[in-house]
Amino acid sequence: MVDLKTYFSLREEKPASIYRIAETAYNHEGSLPYMLQMIDALKLSGADAVKLHIMLELDAYMTVNHSLFARLQQWLFTREQWREVFERCRRNGLAIVGLADELPGLEFLIEEKVDVLAIHAASLHDAYMLRKLSRADQPLLVGVGGATLTDVEYTMRFLSPKKNIVFMYGIQQYPTPPSSLQLQKIPMYERLFNVPVGYADHTAAHAENERYLAYASAYGLGARVFEQHVTLDFDNKRIDDDSAIAAKSFVQFTEKTNLISLMCGSPVFELKEDEKKYVHSRKQMVAARDLPAGAIITEKDIQFRRTEQWSDMAPKDFEQLIGKTIKQQVAAGETFSRDHLDMEDSYE
C-alpha cells in the first residue's frame, strides 16, 4: 500500500507517482453483493484506495420531505454491512477512504479507523462535522468542487490546526463537459490555502480521450491524488454511471495514468542516459586554420562545428580560450583540447 503521508503534505518537489482512488459512491444502490463484487473487481487493479460513501441516519442529513429521501433510504447499509465492506477492502489490499454525509456516519468511520476521511462539498458548512474532523487523526480529503472561496475559508477555520489535508477539486456535474472543468483552479487553491490539491474526475463515462487529457492536465497543474468513479458494469443503468469507468477497466486506467507520470518524470533536474548521448552531438570548438606552436589564439582562429572528435573543453570555455598560447600544432578542423595549450598561461 502506498504511503499516504507522501500525498498529504505540500512540498516544493511533488512526488512523481499518483495516488488513485476508486469512488464507489451510491453505485451499489443498496445491494451489498454488488458492492462486494465491485471491490473484488478492483483487486490488483492498481487502485490504492476505495472511497465509500457512508450514511447511517438519513434524517441527520436531510429533511424527510426532501425529494431524494425515500430513494436514499432504500440504499443505506447497516453498520454490520459496512464492516463487511471494510473487511473486504482490507483483504484486497485497498485503503479505505470514508466519506460521511452526517455526524453519526463520521463518528462510525473514526471508530472503525478507516485510512482516510473525506467530507463532501455539501457538508462544508456543517460545524459539528468540521469540529469532529479537526480532531481526527486520519488524513482528510476536502471536496471543494462548486465551493466559493468564502466557503473554503470558513471550512479551513474550523479544521485548523489540522495539517494532513488534501483538497479534492472536481465539478459535480454528471458528466462534466470539458469546457466546465476549469482545471486552473487546482494551482489557485494550492496557492491560496497552502494545501495539496487533487482531482476528482466526472467527465463522460465513454469519453476516454477527454478523461485522459483532463488527468494529464491536472497532473501538469500539480494534482497527484486522482479520484475516479467506478461501476461494476454498464449492463444496467445505475447512479453515477454517466461519469464512471468499469471496475475491471481500472487496470487500464492505472496504466495510462502511470504513463502520464512517466512522461513528466522526476521534479529533480537531471539528464537521463538517452539525453546524455545527445550531448555528444553538440558543436565543438575547432581550429579555423592550421595553427603552429607558439600561435596566440584569436576569435578568428575558432569555429563551432559538429565533429566526432570529442573535446575536454566545453563551448562555455570560448572566451577563456582567446589569448592562450598554442604549445603544439593544431590542424584546421581539429578540436581544441587543453593538451594544445601552454599550461603556464593561467586557464580556469
Between CA 41 and CA 182 the distance in angstroms is 32
Instruction: Give pLDDT tens digits for 84-106.
Output: 999 999 999 999 999 999 999 99
Between CA 294 and CA 236 the distance in angstroms is 88
**What are the DSSP calls for 133-158, one per residue?**
HHH-SS-EEEE-TT--HHHHHHHHHH
Residue 30 has pLDDT above 80, yes or no: yes
Q: Model's pTM, two decimal places?
A: 0.84
Instruction: Give pLDDT tens digits for 212-248.
Output: 999 999 999 999 999 999 999 888 888 888 889 999 9
Residue 280 has pLDDT above 70, yes or no: no
User: What domains can you pick out in the chain, each with its CATH number?
Assistant: 16-264 (3.20.20.70), 273-340 (3.90.1210.10)
Residue 348 has pLDDT above 60, yes or no: no
Look at residue 239 in the predicted model and tell me its pLDDT. Answer: 83
Cα distances from 182 to residues 70, 109, 217, 219, in angstroms, run 34, 32, 11, 14
Look at residue 185 in the predicted model and tell me its pLDDT. Answer: 96
